[in-house]
Structure 1
């Protein structure tokens, strides 16, 4: 975990907010905000979501590498991250039928699951390292 990043301090950890149940998905949270959150967690430079909401593949690859899952398509990496964190990954999380310029992609809901998974995985790794 990036020691300069704290999900609670930055307001990224929504488990304490009533009605959200740790979902992270709030009205008005854009794909760019979700990608920014993921970049902060990973300690990598923020990248811009492209035209037509094209997501930066290298940010997902960085998440996969940091969390120890296989690098592949965005939906495959998202599913692997969710599985490792014990979170559900359903049809609302990906757009396998929709092919962007980078191939199959994830939805805003999928970005939320990925962010929550990365928070849990990195948090657990950090706790183990400090034990």
Structure 2
């Protein structure tokens, strides 16, 4: 009996994965050593359609110093909702300054689900936090 419980526990831990609600992928492309195109792709794994998705893209120098950030809306209220398993992509342009290209991070700041009036923030460690 103890072996069965131990086997069940170990198999449950092996098949239990991280349930990340969003997958964020950032792909910078250097064009003619003059500008950088940054594609931000977010995949919805929540299980509910996302009606509004907003975040901030932060730029860091080649020496990992913070340069600045700008707001980026990936899904607006008037667009079709982002369904589970689907992705959305937005592109922004930055000038190429110096020899080392900068690095970028994207942080989700607002999430609104289809059919709800509540607005959430999402953090990879804290999860969803209701902000409105």
TM over 0.5: no
TM-score by length of 1: 0.25
Task: Please say which structure displays the higher CA radius of gyration.
Answer: 2
Indicate the structure with greater helix content: 1
Indicate the structure with greater strand content: 2
TM-score by length of 2: 0.25
